[in-house]
């Protein structure tokens, strides 16, 4: 069973290793603390669900399929995107329907879907916290994307609780979970 401590440890290790390549140790540690604090403040005592896929990636894929579709190349598209021909047809049908009724839709023609909360926190809130910790803005955005990718690939479909007990463990150990001092 995957625990919240294991997830935090993996994320902190990733962010520390990435931050230490461009910044000093103090900034790398501050960035790691910023990650935990951001997650703890946004998910304290609640379940944090890690999505199976990033919906934006699926939307981009569907747009590419729709743009590449010529009317006779469904077999080639199914091979290119590793989907069945039936799935290609379903995507084309959905995109056509969305394009005929543009009101209330985003630029892709698909209904605006809500991004999972954990990805909102990582993409929108975490970069701000990383900048406050001393990481450059461009590096903060890159780190946020790497954290989101790590979560979605390694811990896909997992729900964990970021509890007060986890914060207490963290404070007892000193700095942060993955680097006991």
CA distance 165 to 90: 46
pLDDT one-digit tens code per residue, 9-33 = 999 999 999 999 989 999 999 999 9
Query: What superfamily would CATH give domain 55-100?
Result: Homeodomain-like (1.10.10.60)
Helix 55-68 and helix 85-100, axial crossing angle in degrees, nearest 10: 90
Domain ranges of the chain: 4-51+117-173, 55-100
Residues 5-10: contacts with CB under 8 Å, at least 24 apart: 5/166, 5/169, 5/177, 7/50, 7/151, 7/155, 7/158, 7/160, 8/36, 8/39, 8/162, 8/166, 8/177, 9/177, 9/178, 10/150, 10/154, 10/155
pLDDT for 173 equals 66
Tokens of 64: 């590419």
| Of 42-51, 96-105, 144-153, minimum mean pLDDT range | 96-105
Output 96 or 127, whichever has higher pLDDT.
127
- The DSSP code for 122 is I
pLDDT one-digit tens code per residue, 65-90 = 999 999 899 999 999 988 999 999 99
Q: Please answer whether residues 140 and 28 qualify as being in contact, where contact means their C-beta atoms are separated by less than 8 angstroms.
A: no
pLDDT one-digit tens code per residue, 115-171 = 788 888 999 999 999 999 999 999 999 999 999 988 888 888 888 888 888 888 877
Residue 102's pLDDT band, with cuts at 50, 70 and 90, is low
């Amino acid at each position: 069973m995957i625990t919240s401590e294991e997830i935090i440890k993996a994320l902190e290790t990733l962010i520390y290793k990435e931050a230490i390549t461009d910044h000093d140790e103090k900034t790398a540690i501050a960035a790691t603390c910023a990650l935990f604090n951001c997650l703890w403040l946004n998910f304290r005592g609640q379940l944090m669900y890690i999505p199976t896929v990033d919906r934006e990636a699926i939307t981009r894929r569907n747009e590419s399929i729709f743009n590449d579709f010529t009317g006779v190349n469904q077999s080639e598209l199914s091979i290119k995107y590793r989907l069945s021909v039936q799935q290609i047809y379903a995507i084309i049908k959905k995109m056509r329907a969305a394009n005929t009724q543009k009101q209330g839709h985003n630029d892709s023609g698909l209904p605006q879907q809500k991004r999972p909360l954990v990805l909102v926190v990582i993409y929108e809130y975490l970069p701000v916290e990383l900048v406050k910790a001393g990481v450059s803005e461009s590096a903060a955005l890159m780190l946020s994307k790497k954290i989101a990718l790590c979560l979605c690939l390694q811990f896909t479909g997992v729900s964990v609780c970021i509890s007060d007990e986890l914060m207490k463990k963290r404070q007892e150990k000193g700095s942060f979970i993955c680097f006991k001092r």
